[in-house]
Amino acid sequence: MLTQQVLDSTIFYREIGTGTPIVFLHGNPTSSHLWRRIMPAVGDPGRRLAPDLIGMGDSGKPDIAYTFDDHARYLDAWFDALGLEGVVLVGHDWGGALAFDWAARHPGRVRGVAFTETIVKPMAWEEFPEGGRAVFRAIKTPGLGESMILDDNAFIEQELPGTVAGGLSPEDLDVYRRPYPTRESRLPLLRWARSMPLGGEPADVVARVESYDRWLAASAEVPKLLLTFAPGTMMSPEIVEWCAAHIAGLEISGHGPAGHHTPEDQPDAIAAAVAGWADRHGLRSAR
Protein backbone atom coordinates (compact mmCIF):
# COMPACT_ATOMS: atom_id res chain seq x y z
CA MET A 1 0.00 0.00 0.00
CA LEU A 2 1.66 3.20 -1.20
CA THR A 3 0.90 6.91 -1.51
CA GLN A 4 2.18 9.27 -4.20
CA GLN A 5 2.12 13.06 -4.07
CA VAL A 6 0.33 14.42 -7.17
CA LEU A 7 -0.46 18.05 -7.92
CA ASP A 8 -1.93 19.45 -4.68
CA SER A 9 -2.97 16.09 -3.22
CA THR A 10 -2.12 12.39 -2.95
CA ILE A 11 -2.99 9.19 -4.79
CA PHE A 12 -3.11 5.94 -2.84
CA TYR A 13 -2.28 2.80 -4.78
CA ARG A 14 -1.63 -0.92 -4.49
CA GLU A 15 1.38 -2.50 -6.16
CA ILE A 16 2.70 -6.05 -6.53
CA GLY A 17 5.19 -7.71 -8.87
CA THR A 18 7.78 -6.46 -11.33
CA GLY A 19 8.02 -6.04 -15.07
CA THR A 20 5.62 -4.48 -17.55
CA PRO A 21 3.25 -2.04 -15.76
CA ILE A 22 -0.33 -3.37 -15.71
CA VAL A 23 -2.60 -0.65 -14.34
CA PHE A 24 -6.07 -1.52 -13.00
CA LEU A 25 -8.53 1.39 -12.90
CA HIS A 26 -11.76 1.26 -10.89
CA GLY A 27 -14.98 3.21 -11.39
CA ASN A 28 -17.87 4.62 -9.37
CA PRO A 29 -18.32 4.15 -6.38
CA THR A 30 -15.52 1.66 -5.78
CA SER A 31 -11.74 1.86 -5.22
CA SER A 32 -8.62 -0.20 -5.81
CA HIS A 33 -10.22 -2.72 -3.41
CA LEU A 34 -12.17 -3.86 -6.49
CA TRP A 35 -9.00 -5.48 -7.86
CA ARG A 36 -7.84 -7.19 -4.64
CA ARG A 37 -8.41 -10.73 -5.95
CA ILE A 38 -7.56 -10.07 -9.59
CA MET A 39 -4.11 -8.50 -9.27
CA PRO A 40 -2.50 -11.52 -7.55
CA ALA A 41 -4.33 -13.98 -9.83
CA VAL A 42 -3.05 -12.33 -13.02
CA GLY A 43 0.33 -13.55 -11.84
CA ASP A 44 3.90 -12.84 -12.81
CA PRO A 45 5.48 -11.25 -14.67
CA GLY A 46 4.00 -7.80 -14.37
CA ARG A 47 4.20 -4.77 -12.16
CA ARG A 48 0.53 -4.66 -11.20
CA LEU A 49 -0.72 -1.32 -9.90
CA ALA A 50 -4.17 -0.09 -8.90
CA PRO A 51 -4.72 3.52 -7.82
CA ASP A 52 -7.67 4.99 -5.97
CA LEU A 53 -9.02 7.79 -8.17
CA ILE A 54 -8.73 11.27 -6.70
CA GLY A 55 -11.39 11.90 -4.05
CA MET A 56 -12.10 8.17 -3.79
CA GLY A 57 -10.85 5.34 -1.60
CA ASP A 58 -7.81 6.39 0.41
CA SER A 59 -6.64 9.05 -2.05
CA GLY A 60 -6.72 12.74 -1.16
CA LYS A 61 -9.94 14.74 -1.22
CA PRO A 62 -8.97 18.14 -2.67
CA ASP A 63 -11.52 20.94 -3.09
CA ILE A 64 -12.21 20.42 -6.80
CA ALA A 65 -15.31 19.81 -8.91
CA TYR A 66 -14.47 16.15 -9.68
CA THR A 67 -15.16 16.44 -13.38
CA PHE A 68 -13.87 13.90 -15.88
CA ASP A 69 -11.10 16.38 -16.68
CA ASP A 70 -10.15 16.63 -13.00
CA HIS A 71 -9.86 12.86 -12.68
CA ALA A 72 -7.78 12.68 -15.86
CA ARG A 73 -5.42 15.45 -14.64
CA TYR A 74 -4.69 13.76 -11.33
CA LEU A 75 -4.37 10.35 -12.98
CA ASP A 76 -1.96 11.81 -15.56
CA ALA A 77 0.14 13.22 -12.73
CA TRP A 78 0.21 9.81 -11.03
CA PHE A 79 1.34 8.03 -14.23
CA ASP A 80 4.04 10.65 -14.72
CA ALA A 81 5.23 10.61 -11.11
CA LEU A 82 5.73 6.85 -11.29
CA GLY A 83 7.32 7.08 -14.75
CA LEU A 84 5.02 4.45 -16.21
CA GLU A 85 5.79 3.54 -19.83
CA GLY A 86 4.69 0.67 -22.07
CA VAL A 87 1.55 0.23 -19.96
CA VAL A 88 -1.19 -2.39 -20.16
CA LEU A 89 -4.47 -0.90 -18.93
CA VAL A 90 -7.38 -2.80 -17.36
CA GLY A 91 -10.52 -0.76 -16.65
CA HIS A 92 -14.00 -1.17 -15.19
CA ASP A 93 -16.83 1.39 -15.36
CA TRP A 94 -15.31 4.92 -15.37
CA GLY A 95 -11.91 3.29 -14.99
CA GLY A 96 -12.34 1.93 -18.50
CA ALA A 97 -13.25 5.38 -19.81
CA LEU A 98 -10.20 6.89 -18.11
CA ALA A 99 -8.05 4.10 -19.58
CA PHE A 100 -9.30 4.84 -23.11
CA ASP A 101 -8.83 8.56 -22.56
CA TRP A 102 -5.29 8.17 -21.23
CA ALA A 103 -4.34 5.81 -24.06
CA ALA A 104 -5.78 8.13 -26.72
CA ARG A 105 -3.74 11.03 -25.35
CA HIS A 106 -0.56 8.95 -24.76
CA PRO A 107 -0.55 6.48 -27.66
CA GLY A 108 3.20 5.91 -27.42
CA ARG A 109 2.95 4.74 -23.81
CA VAL A 110 0.23 2.06 -24.07
CA ARG A 111 0.70 -1.60 -25.06
CA GLY A 112 -2.82 -2.93 -24.59
CA VAL A 113 -6.24 -2.19 -23.08
CA ALA A 114 -8.66 -4.64 -21.43
CA PHE A 115 -12.08 -3.50 -20.26
CA THR A 116 -15.39 -4.62 -18.80
CA GLU A 117 -18.71 -2.85 -18.12
CA THR A 118 -17.49 0.57 -19.19
CA ILE A 119 -18.41 3.59 -21.30
CA VAL A 120 -17.45 2.84 -24.89
CA LYS A 121 -19.64 5.46 -26.60
CA PRO A 122 -22.04 8.31 -25.88
CA MET A 123 -25.45 6.71 -25.49
CA ALA A 124 -29.03 7.59 -26.19
CA TRP A 125 -31.20 7.06 -23.14
CA GLU A 126 -32.74 4.08 -24.94
CA GLU A 127 -29.32 2.39 -25.11
CA PHE A 128 -28.75 2.62 -21.36
CA PRO A 129 -29.82 -0.42 -19.30
CA GLU A 130 -33.56 -0.18 -18.72
CA GLY A 131 -33.19 -0.94 -15.02
CA GLY A 132 -30.88 2.05 -14.54
CA ARG A 133 -32.69 4.73 -16.55
CA ALA A 134 -35.03 5.92 -13.81
CA VAL A 135 -32.19 6.02 -11.28
CA PHE A 136 -29.90 8.05 -13.55
CA ARG A 137 -32.70 10.43 -14.57
CA ALA A 138 -33.27 11.08 -10.88
CA ILE A 139 -29.54 11.52 -10.19
CA LYS A 140 -29.26 14.04 -13.02
CA THR A 141 -32.23 16.02 -11.66
CA PRO A 142 -31.06 19.05 -9.60
CA GLY A 143 -31.95 18.66 -5.95
CA LEU A 144 -33.07 15.05 -6.26
CA GLY A 145 -29.58 13.79 -7.13
CA GLU A 146 -28.10 15.66 -4.16
CA SER A 147 -30.68 14.11 -1.86
CA MET A 148 -30.05 10.60 -3.17
CA ILE A 149 -26.27 10.56 -3.21
CA LEU A 150 -25.05 13.31 -0.88
CA ASP A 151 -27.70 12.94 1.82
CA ASP A 152 -28.75 9.29 1.60
CA ASN A 153 -25.49 7.83 0.23
CA ALA A 154 -27.63 5.73 -2.12
CA PHE A 155 -24.82 4.88 -4.52
CA ILE A 156 -22.98 3.04 -1.75
CA GLU A 157 -25.87 1.74 0.31
CA GLN A 158 -28.21 0.66 -2.51
CA GLU A 159 -26.75 0.81 -6.01
CA LEU A 160 -23.41 -0.88 -5.26
CA PRO A 161 -24.68 -3.99 -3.45
CA GLY A 162 -27.61 -4.16 -5.87
CA THR A 163 -25.28 -4.48 -8.86
CA VAL A 164 -23.14 -7.34 -7.54
CA ALA A 165 -24.91 -10.56 -8.52
CA GLY A 166 -23.32 -12.59 -5.75
CA GLY A 167 -23.76 -9.87 -3.15
CA LEU A 168 -21.12 -8.02 -1.14
CA SER A 169 -19.94 -9.13 2.28
CA PRO A 170 -20.53 -6.63 5.09
CA GLU A 171 -16.76 -6.29 5.40
CA ASP A 172 -16.28 -5.39 1.72
CA LEU A 173 -19.20 -2.98 1.77
CA ASP A 174 -17.60 -1.30 4.79
CA VAL A 175 -14.38 -0.82 2.82
CA TYR A 176 -16.29 0.91 0.04
CA ARG A 177 -18.38 2.93 2.52
CA ARG A 178 -15.53 4.17 4.72
CA PRO A 179 -14.21 7.00 2.43
CA TYR A 180 -17.63 8.72 2.37
CA PRO A 181 -18.70 9.53 5.94
CA THR A 182 -20.05 13.01 5.17
CA ARG A 183 -22.20 14.78 2.63
CA GLU A 184 -19.21 16.69 1.25
CA SER A 185 -17.09 13.56 0.89
CA ARG A 186 -19.67 12.05 -1.49
CA LEU A 187 -19.35 14.76 -4.15
CA PRO A 188 -17.16 12.55 -6.41
CA LEU A 189 -19.89 9.89 -6.45
CA LEU A 190 -22.53 12.39 -7.53
CA ARG A 191 -20.33 14.04 -10.12
CA TRP A 192 -19.33 10.73 -11.69
CA ALA A 193 -22.95 9.61 -11.92
CA ARG A 194 -23.99 12.89 -13.51
CA SER A 195 -21.12 12.58 -16.00
CA MET A 196 -22.67 9.53 -17.70
CA PRO A 197 -22.93 10.62 -21.39
CA LEU A 198 -26.65 10.16 -22.03
CA GLY A 199 -28.78 12.00 -24.57
CA GLY A 200 -25.90 14.28 -25.56
CA GLU A 201 -25.18 15.54 -22.03
CA PRO A 202 -22.91 16.54 -20.45
CA ALA A 203 -21.35 17.94 -23.62
CA ASP A 204 -17.77 17.99 -22.30
CA VAL A 205 -17.87 14.28 -21.45
CA VAL A 206 -19.54 13.42 -24.77
CA ALA A 207 -16.69 15.22 -26.55
CA ARG A 208 -14.11 13.36 -24.48
CA VAL A 209 -15.70 9.99 -25.27
CA GLU A 210 -15.97 10.83 -28.96
CA SER A 211 -12.27 11.71 -28.93
CA TYR A 212 -11.19 8.39 -27.47
CA ASP A 213 -13.59 6.57 -29.80
CA ARG A 214 -11.57 7.91 -32.71
CA TRP A 215 -8.44 6.42 -31.14
CA LEU A 216 -10.17 3.09 -30.47
CA ALA A 217 -11.17 2.88 -34.13
CA ALA A 218 -7.73 3.77 -35.49
CA SER A 219 -5.32 1.90 -33.21
CA ALA A 220 -5.34 -1.65 -34.60
CA GLU A 221 -1.72 -2.03 -33.48
CA VAL A 222 -2.80 -1.90 -29.80
CA PRO A 223 -4.46 -5.17 -28.67
CA LYS A 224 -7.77 -4.71 -26.89
CA LEU A 225 -9.86 -7.14 -24.86
CA LEU A 226 -13.56 -6.78 -24.05
CA LEU A 227 -14.71 -9.00 -21.19
CA THR A 228 -18.45 -9.67 -21.40
CA PHE A 229 -20.72 -11.42 -18.93
CA ALA A 230 -24.21 -12.85 -19.24
CA PRO A 231 -26.70 -11.32 -19.48
CA GLY A 232 -24.77 -8.02 -19.54
CA THR A 233 -25.80 -4.67 -18.07
CA MET A 234 -23.93 -1.72 -19.61
CA MET A 235 -22.41 -4.07 -22.18
CA SER A 236 -25.70 -5.12 -23.78
CA PRO A 237 -25.61 -7.32 -26.90
CA GLU A 238 -26.15 -4.17 -28.98
CA ILE A 239 -23.23 -2.35 -27.36
CA VAL A 240 -21.02 -5.44 -27.78
CA GLU A 241 -21.94 -5.48 -31.48
CA TRP A 242 -20.99 -1.81 -31.70
CA CYS A 243 -17.62 -2.58 -30.10
CA ALA A 244 -16.96 -5.39 -32.58
CA ALA A 245 -17.70 -3.05 -35.48
CA HIS A 246 -15.93 0.09 -34.22
CA ILE A 247 -12.94 -0.92 -32.04
CA ALA A 248 -9.81 -1.97 -33.92
CA GLY A 249 -7.67 -4.84 -32.69
CA LEU A 250 -10.46 -6.13 -30.45
CA GLU A 251 -10.94 -9.58 -28.97
CA ILE A 252 -14.17 -10.41 -27.14
CA SER A 253 -14.07 -12.89 -24.27
CA GLY A 254 -17.47 -14.07 -23.01
CA HIS A 255 -18.10 -15.41 -19.52
CA GLY A 256 -20.84 -16.47 -17.14
CA PRO A 257 -23.22 -14.50 -14.94
CA ALA A 258 -22.25 -11.24 -13.24
CA GLY A 259 -23.79 -7.94 -12.26
CA HIS A 260 -22.36 -4.60 -13.32
CA HIS A 261 -19.44 -4.95 -10.88
CA THR A 262 -17.90 -7.89 -12.71
CA PRO A 263 -14.59 -7.87 -10.75
CA GLU A 264 -16.58 -8.63 -7.60
CA ASP A 265 -18.56 -11.45 -9.21
CA GLN A 266 -15.99 -13.06 -11.52
CA PRO A 267 -12.44 -12.21 -10.37
CA ASP A 268 -10.90 -15.51 -11.40
CA ALA A 269 -12.41 -15.40 -14.89
CA ILE A 270 -11.20 -11.83 -15.40
CA ALA A 271 -7.69 -12.61 -14.16
CA ALA A 272 -7.38 -15.70 -16.37
CA ALA A 273 -8.69 -13.90 -19.43
CA VAL A 274 -6.42 -10.87 -18.95
CA ALA A 275 -3.36 -13.05 -18.31
CA GLY A 276 -4.05 -15.25 -21.32
CA TRP A 277 -4.67 -12.28 -23.63
CA ALA A 278 -1.56 -10.47 -22.41
CA ASP A 279 0.60 -13.53 -22.97
CA ARG A 280 -0.82 -14.27 -26.44
CA HIS A 281 0.16 -10.76 -27.51
CA GLY A 282 3.49 -10.68 -25.70
CA LEU A 283 2.33 -7.73 -23.63
CA ARG A 284 4.27 -8.82 -20.56
CA SER A 285 7.55 -9.47 -22.37
CA ALA A 286 10.39 -6.97 -22.50
CA ARG A 287 10.44 -4.81 -25.60
In 10 A of CB 126, how many CB atoms?
Answer: 10
152 is catalytic: no
Which one is catalytic: 33, 255, 260, 261?
260
Which one is catalytic: 70, 93, 159, 265?
93
User: At a CB cut-off of 8 Å and minimum separation 6, what does 12 contact?
Assistant: 1, 2, 3, 32, 51, 52, 57, 58, 59
Contact 111, 88 (CB under 8 A): yes
For residue 160, count CB atoms less than 10 angstroms from its CB and return exposed for 0-12, middle for 13-18, buried for 19 or more.
buried
172 is catalytic: no
Radius of gyration of the chain (CA): 17
117 is catalytic: yes
Which one is catalytic: 52, 58, 101, 117?
117
Active site residue ranges: 93, 117, 260
